Amino acid sequence: MKGKIQPKTLPGFMELLPNEQILFNKMRAIIQESYEQYGFVPLDTPIIEDANVLLAKAGGETEKQIYRFEKGDTDLALRFDLTVPLAKYVTEYYDKLSFPFKRYQIGKVYRGEKPQRGRYREFYQCDVDIIGDGELSIINDAEIPSIIYNTFKKLGFDDFTICINNRKILNGLFSSLKLEDISSEILRIIDKIEKIGKEEVKKELLVLMPEKKANVIIKFLGIGGNNEEKIKELENMQINNEIFNEGIKEIKEVSKFIEIFGVPEENYKIDLSIARGLDYYTGTVYETFLNQYKNLGSICSGGRYDNLTEFYTDRKMPGVGISIGLSRLFFQLIDNKIISATEETIAEVLIISMTDDCEMCAKVAAKLREKGINVQINIEQQKIGKKFKYANNINANYVIIIGDEEIKNNVITLKDMNSGEQNTITLDETIKILQKNKK
């Protein structure tokens, strides 16, 4: 390798082998199809934006992680999520869009995090958001869990729970305790309850407030029962705070409509400890967990926000949305052997030529493709064993073998790679079998 450059993909950048890529793309296609079922239109904003536009809102961690650079005189940055570009888009094209504006976007985003196992610097987000012009009905907040439910069902999952909460309940509670000034700190502590447990949360809360107030929060977090019982208990807390009561009213309405939208009770629940770190959210919030793999963390999160576009315009544009971090999710699912890509294939049929005369191979390939079948041909100068190994490697379901005998008799030898069965038949018979067994 003298004088050669070592071809190396950067650390923290996902690059898959073909089988895995096929499966990844299938999942992406299912998510897209599911989003479209709800009438969301696609959007594809640039990966590069003016740094000042992109960083209008950002600060702290985001600013440190961002890929930012100059080209000519322009200060550029790579998008670090799909939400800021959406805010830019709805403000920039406001006059040309119809509201409520429902869009999905599936694309790569960039964060220069320290590379860790399963954490990527370039990763896919799959977002849906509904943006209102001035107002946005709370029923939209109930449709979102239905999207989550249908998407994960279509992805093949059954045992998952969509957890919902409402930031107004939390904020109203803190306000009634005169703790609103430290609400972000409290939220950050509450967010850890699954990980560190109630005792530790209380300890951390006591650093910030007297025991009486900490006890109210702990009692609040302990509210149990089914969704209806939880709402009743919240009402029974008799907290005289407008925001708190608005939050209860909203979560009640959202719960009611989640059911009407067809989400089974076992797949969603009110979870009062869910806060979502971001300051961003102002109402309903969502997290989604695989019940058998809670350690994966939330696999689909989001919420309601009132001030999406505040850095670009005075116009009020409330929204609600969710995001699936597909690259990370895919890694986790493969890593935990929840899904496997070993059987994935694109070519349903591989045609193998056993002779130098490739005319019939080409003819048969053209004919099968005309019939909508994915066909690959191998007309290389390779030994027959190597060609069959190739068929195995690409997971072809069928192999068509064409040699001198087949050409002479105008027939085809078709081998079913799963059963091992092999028959010499006509092209028409072959088409019938392949169409019947099309996946």
Interface positions, 46-65, toward its own copies (CB under 8 A): 46-50, 52-53, 56
Q: What are the Cα distances from residue 388, in Å, to 191, 382, 397?
A: 54, 10, 12
Q: Which is nearer to its own copies, 273 or 395 (CB)?
A: 395
Strand, coil or helix: what is 24? Answer: helix
CA angle 229, 241, 135 (to 5 degrees): 90
First to last CA, the chain: 44
Q: Which is nearer to its own copies, 219 or 389 (CB)?
A: 389
**How many helices, marked H, and strands, marked E, lie in the chain?**
16, 16
CA–CA separation, 86 and 92 (whole Å): 10
List 294, 369, 432, 438, residue binding its own copies (CB under 8 A): 369
Q: Which is nearer to its own copies, 71 or 408 (CB)?
A: 71
Which runs of consecutive H residues, i.e. helices, occur in 74-223?
83-92, 139-154, 167-176, 183-190, 193-208, 211-221
In this structure, the number of other CB atoms found within 10 A of the CB of residue 171 comes to 23
204 binds its own copies (CB under 8 A): no
- Footprint on residues 372-431 left by its own copies (CB under 8 A): 372-381, 389-390, 393-394
Residue 401 Cβ vs its own copies, minimum distance, rounded to whole Å: 16
- Footprint on residues 267-326 left by its own copies (CB under 8 A): 309, 311-314
213-245 in b/e form (b: 16+ CB < 10 A) is: bbebbbebbebeeebeebbebbeebebebebbb
CA–CA separation, 275 and 264 (whole Å): 23
363 binds its own copies (CB under 8 A): yes
Residue 173 Cβ vs its own copies, minimum distance, rounded to whole Å: 29
Q: Which is nearer to its own copies, 174 or 257 (CB)?
A: 257
Q: Choose the binding region for its own copies from 133-141, 236-244, 282-290, 329-337 (rule: CB under 8 A).
A: 133-141
List 61, 64, 69, 277, residue binding its own copies (CB under 8 A): 69
Q: Which H/E stretch holds residue 265?
A: none
- Footprint on residues 5-44 left by its own copies (CB under 8 A): 5-10, 13-18, 21-22, 24-25, 36-44
Residue 332 Cβ vs its own copies, minimum distance, rounded to whole Å: 18
Q: What is the DSSP letter of 119?
A: B
Beta strand pairing status for 41-42 and 122-131?
A: unpaired
Residues near its own copies (CB under 8 A), total = 104
- Footprint on residues 108-127 left by its own copies (CB under 8 A): 108, 110, 112, 121-122
List 370, 404, 405, 428, residue binding its own copies (CB under 8 A): 370
365 binds its own copies (CB under 8 A): yes
List 223, 278, 338, 362, residue binding its own copies (CB under 8 A): 362
Q: Which is nearer to its own copies, 227 or 241 (CB)?
A: 227
List 359, 404, 405, 428, residue binding its own copies (CB under 8 A): 359
366 binds its own copies (CB under 8 A): yes
Strand, coil or helix: what is 195? Answer: helix
List 81, 100, 306, 416, residue binding its own copies (CB under 8 A): 100
Residue 52 Cβ vs its own copies, minimum distance, rounded to whole Å: 6
Closest CA to 103 of 21, 59, 40: 40
Q: Which amino acid is at 66?
A: I
Query: Which residues have C-beta within 8 Å of that of residue 114, sequence separation ≥ 6?
Result: none
Q: Which is nearer to its own copies, 192 or 256 (CB)?
A: 256
List 125, 140, 165, 288, residue binding its own copies (CB under 8 A): 140
